[in-house]
A and B are shown apart, each in its own frame.
Chain A
Amino acid sequence: MSPVIIAIIVLGTTGIAGAVILYAVAKKFYVNEDPRIALIEELLPGANCGGCGRSGCHDFACACAAASSLDNLVCPGAGTEVMTKIGDIVGLAPSTAKAKIAVLHCNGSCANRPVTSTYDGAKSCAILGNLYIGASDCAYGCLGQGDCVASCRWNAIHMDPLTGLPVIDSELCTGCGACTAVCPRHIIELRDKGPKGRRVWVACANKERGALALKECKAACIGCSKCRKICPHDAITVENNLSYIDSSKCKLCRKCEAVCPTGSIIDSGFPLTLKEMEALAATRHQQK
């Protein structure tokens, strides 16, 4: 017999034997799975961010397939369109919960917060926070080491080199909440994205009394209650020298923003006023 034939016989037999074993094993250990799970999983972004509260996209798909109502099942990464499609697959109405987005309760940029020390260590807010107060006197504000940036699976957060603060991209942020969990100072909040992406919030977390807070940061909320008094919708509360705007009550009138003496209330998503546009143009011109 020629070596070629021997080779063919040996390899062929091995291959057939392998195929038989694989087939037997696959049959024996076949897991019966709802075919809809695979369909749903295909629609999901596959980032396994955990923003839905499940341990990953597959788990979420299983939960959707087994659910009797989609009210508590929302994939923050997928958007309403995908959720409607998933609803079609499982024959349920998608949840009507409002879209969320992460906002930062700190405006302690380098200009607003005097720098009091240089941190020289591992780039991690958690490590820095355990070590000491951070590069400013504020014990509540952003530590600026970018744990939130590292935690974001959507590339929605980056550090602004000018302010030293994280910037959240409204287009990319899915409201999964990974950054809120990882921030050691707990200054990132998931808020309603707001109509047309418009929202107003207090960009400060400092609970010190007014004078001290102001010493620590020029843009601190001093708890003066001016915003609470002027709010026509009763959306603002002041607790522990810190103001908070309830996004479910806020009607986006921005009166509080105008009255805030330290400018700690900021907004997002509104079209620029003429004045702001002029200011922006002026800075652009200067930069040139």
Chain B
Amino acid sequence: MAQLLTVSASPHIHTKRTVAGCMRHVTIALLPAAACALYFFGIGALIVIATSIAACAATEYIINRWMLRRPSTLADGSAILTGLLLAFNLPSNLPVWAVIIGSVVAIGIGKMAFGGLGCNIWNPALVGRVFLLISFPVQMTSWPLPLVNRSEYFDAVTGATTLGILKLGEADSASIDILASATGAIGGSLGEVSAIALLIGFIYLLCMKVITWHIPVSILGTVALFTLCIGGNLAVELLSGGLMLGACFMATDYVTSPMSKKGMLIFGVMIGLITVIIRRWGAYPEGVSFAILLMNGFVPLIDRYIKPRKFGERRSKS
């Protein structure tokens, strides 16, 4: 033998799945929605997405190398994914400086302050978004209209989102174009508009076994049921706002969601309830981000008390 034998404990083989691979799958799953964003919002979407990804990656690199003095963790792809998700949650005419502030907050406070990948309690992209929403409400709630603004970045024509219109009571839900909501030809954050593109990505993730159905289905199911109970318009509630993006991509973030299947269902149901409550009775027209962040905070508690059923234990101890 030319070399020394290696000794380690079993198992001696390992799955091909890697962290970078998971991140790559999620990024691929977001591509259809990104394409829709570019189609509907044009140059503005491109600038915001590019800035966000670059700023997130740069923030992580700088914090790792200069502040924490440890190797760069860019290779795992999580910073790029966070950048992409953050951009999806921003309007396409958001000034570059605001995008950079959001990225720095997302990575710096949302992720690296907790110790980096895997340690954060709240979804970094949502931390960035909510920070921007509270700090710069005007810029964050002026939504460029789709299609007409493709070549405009600074002087985009803006309008309200579907949920905003409903909140203000300017229109009743029956008059809203469901088809436009599904394809994405509506105002809103650049990545959240096209429900169909997001669903394609979700199905891709399910097929690649990156995520399970539990969280998205329980969120969407709860929103649907609760909306029916309080007499809202089902299609509008499901298709508009950040619900699809939130349910399929933000709430399913590994780090900030529960570990057990039962826990995931509880997590999803609570997000659904809080979302509808905020939308219906809250001050904001949209509540998915807040709902997810709130429930992120409950994840350690859920994991503490909701455990998978152990083999050989009775289903209930009563």
Q: Is the CB of B9 within 8 A of A117?
A: no
Q: Are A120 and B4 interface neighbours, CB within 8 A?
A: no
Question: How far in angstroms is the closest Cβ of chain A from B11?
Answer: 11
Interface size on A, residues (CB 8 A): 11
Contact of B316 with A by CB under 8 A: no
| A121 x B4 contact (CB < 8 A) | no
Assembly CA distance A116 to B4 (angstroms): 6
Q: What CA separation (Å) do A121 and B6 show in the bound complex?
A: 10
B7 contacts partner chain A, Cβ-Cβ < 8 Å: yes
A118 interface hit (Cβ, 8 Å):
yes
B229 at interface by CB-CB < 8 Å: no
Q: Is the CB of A127 within 8 A of B4?
A: no
Task: Check A31 for interface membership: any CB of B closer than 8 A.
Answer: no
Can you pick out 13 interface pairs between chain A and chain B where the beta carbons lie within 8 Å of each other? A115-B4, A117-B4, A118-B4, A118-B5, A118-B6, A118-B7, A119-B6, A119-B7, A121-B8, A122-B9, A131-B7, A131-B9, A132-B7
Given A120-B6, A120-B8, A131-B8, list of 16 further CB < 8 A pairs? A115-B4, A116-B4, A117-B4, A117-B6, A117-B7, A118-B4, A118-B5, A118-B7, A119-B6, A119-B7, A120-B7, A121-B8, A121-B9, A122-B9, A127-B9, A132-B7
Contact surface of A with B, Cβ cutoff 8 Å: 115-122, 127, 131-132
B contact residues around A127 at 8 Å (CB): 9
Interface size class of B (residues with CB under 8 A): under 10
| Chain B proximity of A241: nearest CB distance (Å) | 27
Please report which residues of chain B, range 1-35, place their CB below 8 angstroms from some CB of chain A when the two chains form the complex: 4-9
Main DSSP-derived SS at the A contact region: loop
Min CB distance B142 to A, Å, is: 32
| Residues of chain A contacted by B9 (CB below 8 angstroms) | 121-122, 127, 131
**CA–CA, A122 and B7, complex, Å:** 11
Least Cβ–Cβ distance between A145 and chain B, in angstroms: 12
Q: 3 closest A-B pairs (Cβ-Cβ)?
A: A121-B8, A120-B8, A118-B6
Chain A residue nearest to B5 (CB atoms) is A117
Within 8 Å CB of B7, what residues of A? Answer: 117-121, 131-132
- Assembled-state Cα–Cα distance A206/B9 (Å): 25
Distance in angstroms between the alpha carbons of A119 and B4 in the assembled complex: 10
> A119 and B8: CB pair below 8 A?
yes
* B-chain residues with CB within 8 Å of residue A120 when the two chains form the complex: 6-8
- Given the complex of chains A and B, what is the CA–CA distance between A127 and B5 in angstroms? 18
CB proximity to A under 8 Å, residues B137-190: none
Chain A CB within 10 A, most for which of B5, B7, B8, B9? B7
Q: With A and B bound together, what is the CA distance between A85 and B5 in angstroms?
A: 57
B2 to chain A minimum Cβ distance, whole angstroms, is 13
> Which A residues touch B5, using CB under 8 A?
117-118
- Distance (whole angstroms) from the CB of B13 to the closest CB of chain A: 13
Cα A141 to Cα B23 with chains together (Å): 44
> Can you name the residue of chain B whose Cβ is closest to the Cβ of A119?
B7
Complex interface: chain B residues within 8 A of A118 (CB): 4-7
CB distance from A270 to the nearest CB of B (A): 38
| Cα distance, A121 to B11, chains bound together (Å) | 11
Residue of A nearest to B10 (CB): A131
* Distance from B49 Cβ to chain A, minimum over Cβ atoms (Å): 40
Q: Report the minimum CB–CB distance from B188 to chain A (whole Å).
A: 37
Q: Which residue of B lies closest to A127 (CB)?
A: B9
CA gap between A284 and B172 in the complex, in Å: 85
- Which A residues touch B6, using CB under 8 A? 117-120
Q: Write out the residue numbers on chain A whose beta carbons fall within 8 Å of the beta carbon of B8.
A: 119-121, 131
A121 to B8, alpha carbons, bound, how many Å? 5
Contacts of A132 in B (CB 8 A): 7
Nearest B residue to A120 by beta-carbon distance? B8
Q: Whole-angstrom distance from the CB of A129 to the nearest CB of chain B? A: 12
CB 8 Å contact bits of B120-141 with A (1 = contact, 0 = none): 0000000000000000000000
Name which residue of chain A comes closest to B3, CB basis: A118
- Complex: how many Å from CA A132 to CA B5? 13
B59 CB → nearest A CB, Å: 30
Q: Which residues of B contact A131 (CB under 8 A)?
A: 7-9
Bound together, the chains give a CA A118 to CA B9 distance in angstroms of: 12
Cα–Cα, bound, A117→B5 (Å): 5
A131 to B6, CA, bound (A): 12
Identity of the chain B residue whose Cβ is nearest the Cβ of A130 in the assembled complex: B9
Interchain CA distance A170-B8 in the complex, whole Å: 34
Min CB gap A186→B, angstroms: 22
A4 to B8, CA, bound (A): 70
Q: Name the residue of chain B whose CB is nearest to the CB of A115.
A: B4
Most chain B CB neighbours (cut-off 10 Å) among A121, A122, A127:
A121
Which B residues are in CB contact (< 8 Å) with A122?
A: 9
Shortest Cβ distance from residue A262 to the other chain B in the assembled complex, whole angstroms: 25
- Alpha-carbon separation in the docked complex, A127 to B10 (Å): 12
What is the CA–CA distance of A131 and B7 in the complex, to the nearest angstrom?
9
